[in-house]
Amino acid sequence: MPHVIIYTDGGAAPNPGLGGWAAVLYSPEHDKKLEIYGAEPNTTNNRMELLAAIKALKALKFSCEVDLHTDSSYLHNAFNKGWLKNWQKNNWRTSTGGQVLNQDLWQELIKLTRTHKIKWHWVKGHADDEINNRCDELVQIAREEFI
C-alpha cells in the first residue's frame, strides 16, 4: 500500500463567514508534493477543517496508508478519542444530547476512512511546523482568490 503524508487546515473569517481549506499531500515513495485548496462562502472553521481532510483523501488515486496531520482538535479527537463512534451509536447526538454538527461531512469522511488506512496526528497550529504553516497560507490564498 502506498504511503502518503497529508497536512490539512481550514478556517473562516469571520466565523461563520468566508472559509478556506487547504491540504499538502506528499508521497515519500515518489518524492512528489501536491498542494490543493479552495474556498466557500458562509461557512465555519470546523466545516473547512473537515472539508480539507475530505478533499485531500479524495485526491488519492489508490487506497493508501495515510499519516494525516491536522491542527484541528475537533477533527483529530473525533477519530482518536472515539467521538465519531459514540455519535453514531447515539444516533448522531453529542454526549449532552445535542445534534452533532456537520453530519454530512462526517459521514463522507467515514466513507473515505474505509478506503484508506489513516493515522490521525495533531499538530499545534500557527507554530513552528513548516508544512502546517504552508497549509495556513494556502487557506488565506483560497479566501483571497474567492473575493
Q: Does the active-site annotation cover 144? A: no
CA-based R_g, the chain, Å: 15
| Pairing relationship of beta strands 65-70 and 32-43 according to DSSP bridges | unpaired
Mean pLDDT of 66-85: 97
The 10s digit of each residue's pLDDT in 26-65 is 999 999 999 999 999 999 999 999 999 999 999 999 999 9
Active site residue 126: yes
In eight-state DSSP terms, residue 122 is E
Closest CA to 37 of 45, 46, 25: 25
- Measure the CA–CA gap between 65 and 119, rounded to whole angstroms: 8
Instruction: Give me the catalytic one of 3, 82, 126, 145.
Output: 126
- Told to judge if 71 belongs to the known catalytic residues of this protein, a careful annotator would answer yes
Instruction: Give the residue among 3, 7, 56 at the shortest CA–CA distance from 29.
Output: 3
How do residues 88-125 score in pLDDT, each as one tens digit? 999 999 989 999 999 999 999 999 999 999 999 999 98
Which of 20, 71, 76, 116 is catalytic? The answer is 71
Active-site residue, from 9, 20, 69, 76: 9
What is this structure's pTM?
A: 0.96
Annotation says 38 is catalytic = no
Q: Which of 11, 19, 49, 69 is catalytic?
A: 49
Active site residue 10: yes
The pLDDT, as a whole number, for residue 11 is 97
Query: Would you state the pLDDT for residue 136?
Result: 96
Known catalytic residue at 130: no
